[in-house]
Structure 1
Amino acid sequence: MQIKNSVGKKGINNREDVELVQITLNRAIQFPFRLLAVDKLVGKKTIGAIESFQKQVLKFSIPDGLIEVKGKTWQALSKYLVEPPKTKIATHSTFPEFVQIREDKTNQISESVFSVVPRQHQLKIAWGAKVSPAFKQKVILISKQLDISPDYLMACIAFETGETFSPSIKNAAGSGAVGLIQFMPETAKYLKTNTSALEKMSAVDQLDYVKKYFNTYRGKLHTLEDVYMAILLPTAIGKPVDHIFFRKGTKAYEQNIGLDKNKDGKIVLKEVAETVRKMFEKGIKPGYMG
């Protein structure tokens, strides 16, 4: 649960290290629609997020956009892997001890600030405190196999199940969908099972079918929106935030009417993303992250 090499501007940027940094930075970012794509690639947005964290949270006078294995930036960021952030500033979720940091021209921070950062702890994920250890570990495993953020997957499952994580929960609108990602009857058939069998499974066993379903889109699910679109409407993966999914007067609109936040008769990606984003934010709060 540690990076092995430097990440960021002029860093070595091994893909696994970059992925861990992107997942961690997303737990700190406050602004809606600025969550990073967890794509294992260092681009302008990832470097910008590193610099913003250094400047806004750690008060670096001159952010360098680089995370060193034993540097102050990673010492601070690694705390987000094992603890939920407990306070907020304008731009980031953070920790009380970080708020006390004062700007220093040398970009050096007292070691005492990090004395409470655990070094050997099991990775915590969004909503991990609300599921069994076996479920959590399987989500971490399949997320790695699918190249997606476990936080994003858990946020989507939390939304789809009304925060119950029940493998037998049914769609309230009567679509026939069931389970962790609301498998539709035709989807279940494609996966060589059926909704009756799915709802009788344990949550841990049903994750095998979650993996099987998402495997079709492996390599395309980098953002929170991408992961949720794979469930809701796969043809919308990678679409802009103003993309219209459903219009009033269609069956699909009625089945998802709760997503029409401004009641304008249209459901757009921004509205869908807002709802799932709130699930992500809730999932990394104390009492939920685990």
Structure 2
Amino acid sequence: MSLVYIEKIPSSLRTAFENTVRAICDDLGIANPDWLMIVMWAESRLNPQAKNPSSTATGLIQFLEATARSIGTTTAALAKMNHVQQLPFVKAYLQQAIKSRGVPKDAYQLYFLVHFPSAFGKSDNTVLYRAGSSAYSANPLDYNKDSVVTVAEVKIFLQKACPVGYDINNLEKKGSLSSQTGKLLLWVLGISFFALTGYFMYKPDSWESFKEWIKDFIKHSIRGVRHEFS
């Protein structure tokens, strides 16, 4: 299954972008590549030229000038890159952040690595910024209007950044939706196998009848194939 928001990437870059995002997440131990897509959407609407008018923040994850220089580039250079060209710098930043803070266990912690690293791993009631600060003015996230922005309110913001109809529980689930479906199918098959095994052990005659049915099915199938090619 394709990543969320991948349709927002130009068609000529889409495959390379998705493959690179998946590779970055694999390399860094980020359990669900959709998390990174949602984080980039929240920060820049997946626009590598996105620029915050009140700061130096630029690009897919809104690199600050000091941050850009710490990974060997500048915001001016980043603004000239396309979606795929900018991803190695996204990876370089996340490598630094993960080395300092740890591997994010969910989309919220991944977002804090980008948006407010010191909030990584903090409780929901932790205050990040207060009314009167430049950070408070630049980030209108005070949903309960109490003059402070908390970890919980930033989580609400990330939930609002999810696609319409997206299950926000996936922000904490490991693996893409398709892999989760695969795991569920394996569980169903496993339970069915043990249930049938128990049933046939309880009623041996049923097992014999089942085996005969399988044999007949195979015979009829072989006859059908022979008839088709005769």
Q: Using structure 1 for the length normalisation, give the TM-score.
A: 0.52
Matched residues in 1 for 2:58 and 2:80: separation? 10
Check if 1:225 corresponds to 2:130: no
Deviation at 1:128, TM superposition (A): 2.1
**Is 1:196 matched up with 2:71?**
no
Helix, strand or coil at the partner of 2:56: coil
* 8 Å Cα contact 2:142/2:148 also seen in 1: yes
The residue number in structure 2 matching 1:215 is: 95
Q: Does 1:128 align with 2:9?
A: no
The corresponding residue for 2:207 is none
- The higher radius of gyration belongs to 2
Give how far 1:276 is off.
0.6
* CA shift in 2, pair 1:166/1:283, >3 Å: farther
- What is the alpha-carbon distance in structure 2 between the residues aligned to residue 166 and residue 224 of structure 1? 20
Where structure 2 has 5 or more consecutive residues not aligned to the other structure, the ranges are: 168-176, 179-230
What's 1:246 paired with? 129
Residue of structure 2 aligned with 1:171, choices 32, 35, 52 = 52
Contact 1:127 1:284 in 2 (8 A): no
1:50-199 matches, within 5 Å, as 82=1, 124-131=2-9, 132-148=14-30, 149-161=32-44, 163=45, 165-172=46-53, 174-199=54-79
What is the letter of the counterpart of residue 155 of structure 1?
I
Which stretch shows the higher mean deviation, 179-188 or 271-280?
271-280
1:205 aligns with 2:88: no
When the two chains are superposed, the root-mean-square deviation of aligned CA atoms in Å is 2.0
Secondary structure of the structure 1 residue equivalent to 2:47:
coil
Give the conservation status (yes or no) of the 8 Å contact 2:130–2:147.
yes
Q: Which has the higher helix share?
A: 2
Give deviations 1:104-132, integer Å, cap 9, x for gaps.
xxxxxxxxxxxxxxxxxxxx222122222
Distance in 2, matches of 1:252 and 1:159, equals 16
- Shift of residue 281 of structure 1? 4.7
Shift of 1:266: 0.6
TM score, norm. by length of structure 2 = 0.65
Q: Distance in 2 between matches of 1:264 and 1:199?
A: 36
**What amino acid is the match of 1:168?**
Q
Structure 1 unaligned residues grouped into runs of 5+: 1-81, 83-123
Distance 2:96 2:145 in 1: 33
- The answer (yes or no) to whether the contact 2:56–2:65 under 8 Å persists in 1 is yes
Identity of aligned residues (%): 35
Distance 1:128 1:283, change over 3 A: farther
Asked whether the 8 Å contact 2:28–2:103 carries over to 1, the reply is: no
Counterparts of 1:277 and 1:192, CA distance in 2: 32
SS at match of 1:267: strand
Instruction: Name the SS of the counterpart of 2:17 in structure 1.
Output: helix
Cα 1:191–1:169 shift into 2, 3 Å: same
What amino acid maps onto 1:213 in structure 2?
Y
